[in-house]
Structure 1
Amino acid sequence: MKTITKSFSKFFFALLLVATISFSTSFSSYAQTTTSLGIKGGVNIANFRGEDVKDFDSRTAFNLGLVLNYSVAESVGLSLEADYASMGAKYDGSLLGVPTGEYTTKLDYLRTTLLFNYYMGSSEMNIRPELFAGPYLGFLLGANNKVEDGDYNDVKDGYKGTDFGAAFGAGLHLKVGEKMWLVPDVRYNLGLSNVFDNDNVTGRNGVLSVNLGLTFPLN
């Protein structure tokens, strides 16, 4: 399993690297008409997935970052995102049936996501629905635990340094100016790798996000 996880991690990293290089080449050639830059942020409802962590509850956190959009055609585009994303989960612990307090695990990542976008309708419309999906790769910045309202303790050594998976969702492009768009979306980030640095425990990230972005044309 560990070998498979490493292979998938390398595959997603390579895919993101190739896409970034291609994206940069396209950007230098077509930025005047087809590329936009924006900011985005939102609320994360995060939890762990897996049989070993089925009793965990969700933790509400946030994400904040940048997005670069490139339109391949009127209905097709690519988005490269880089953001700070806080994840984790909560657990109401007990010993012999006696509650011992709520444990909170906070995992913070620098996350890169490549999205393949499908835009509905014409680019002249003021409201355009979109569907999107693609891989993400996250680099662990910090991992902390706390009990109840106590202080957070560093537990980064107990978690793997990278996380990868797939993001998919739907959103709207709302025109608020000349080629300037307000972009709300709802997405799910499905973690595919074990976040724990322990072969005896398996848990993957699962994050439902509600986001809002604003993009500007680069021309």
Structure 2
Amino acid sequence: MKKLVLTAIVAAAGIFGAQAQANSDLVKLGVKGGVNLATVTGDDFDSPDSRTSFNAGFVAEVPFSERFSVQGEVLYSGQGFDAVRVDQDNFLDNDENIEVQLDYIQIPLLAKIYLVEGLSVSAGPQIGFLVNDEIDYKPNSDSGDIDIDGALEPEDIDISLAAGLEYAFDNGFFISGRYNYGFSEIIKDVDVHNSVLQFGIGYTFK
């Protein structure tokens, strides 16, 4: 499945690039940002609480027709989950959650269909590159960070599917909601996958 999705991303990126070059005057470029509600799912994890983080990045939309576009993005996406606190001899004796932080550069490539003017649905494959992995047992301060690379062995690449809704206003602003589900095991030899809700706003320059 991961090879199939990766092949689809590469093929779609080629088509996207060719169309963008042909329709350079019609390409919409923009920025976006918002909130992530991230957790993980799988047989080896019992639905941990969501980690609240953020996403931010760049957007490029290439129209193929009045109703259909392809949209590519490059986003920084804070993911992971809130872990269950285990207090051993007061080592972690405070009221804060423990955050397992898995942060990615995500590159979705989405087919986008306009249902009516301004309102669109989109779906497509996404590849993520892990850029930060740590446990933070004091998430409300600047301390408490522990590198987890040696302990949990998180995978460097995450293949996922993204799908969502967007509404674009005439002045260039837009609002969006999206769900991302990961096909990849994010921790080596453990059945656990990313599951992320994203809500945000953005602006396209033309």
TM-score for the superposition, normalised by structure 2: 0.88
Q: Alignment partner for residue 194 of structure 1, among 181, 185, 198?
A: 185
1:204 — aligned with what? 193
Matched, 1:62 2:54: yes
2:80–2:194 contact (8 Å) kept in structure 1: yes
Change (3 A) 1:51 1:99: farther
Segments of structure 2 that go 5 or more residues without pairing to the other structure are none
- Aligned positions, number: 197
For the residues of structure 2 that align with 1:91 and 1:135, how far apart are their CA atoms?
A: 28
1:120–1:129 contact (8 Å) kept in structure 2: yes
Segments of structure 1 that go 5 or more residues without pairing to the other structure are 1-7, 123-127
Matched, 1:167 2:162: yes
For the residues of structure 2 that align with 1:168 and 1:49, how far apart are their CA atoms?
A: 17
Report deviation, 1:35.
1.2
Report deviation, 1:12.
2.1
1:55–1:91 contact (8 Å) kept in structure 2: no
Q: Deviations over 1:29-53 (max 9, x none)?
A: 1111x31111111100000112322
Partner-residue secondary structure (3-state), 2:10: helix
Change (3 A) 1:171 1:99: farther
Change (3 A) 1:153 1:100: closer
Q: Deviations over 1:72-111 (max 9, x none)?
A: 1111111011111110101223379x99664210011111
The residue type equivalent to 2:166 in the other structure is G
Partner-residue secondary structure (3-state), 1:31: coil
1:125 — aligned with what? none
For the residues of structure 2 that align with 1:31 and 1:90, how far apart are their CA atoms?
A: 43
2:39–2:47 contact (8 Å) kept in structure 1: no
The residue type equivalent to 2:11 in the other structure is V
RMSD, aligned α-carbons: 2.0
Structure ranking higher in strand proportion: 1
Partner-residue secondary structure (3-state), 1:51: coil
Structure ranking higher in helix proportion: 1
The residue type equivalent to 1:138 in the other structure is G
Partner-residue secondary structure (3-state), 2:66: coil
Q: Deviations over 1:139-161 (max 9, x none)?
A: 11110012245521111341001
Give 4+ residue runs of structure 1 displaced > 6 Å after superposition.
none
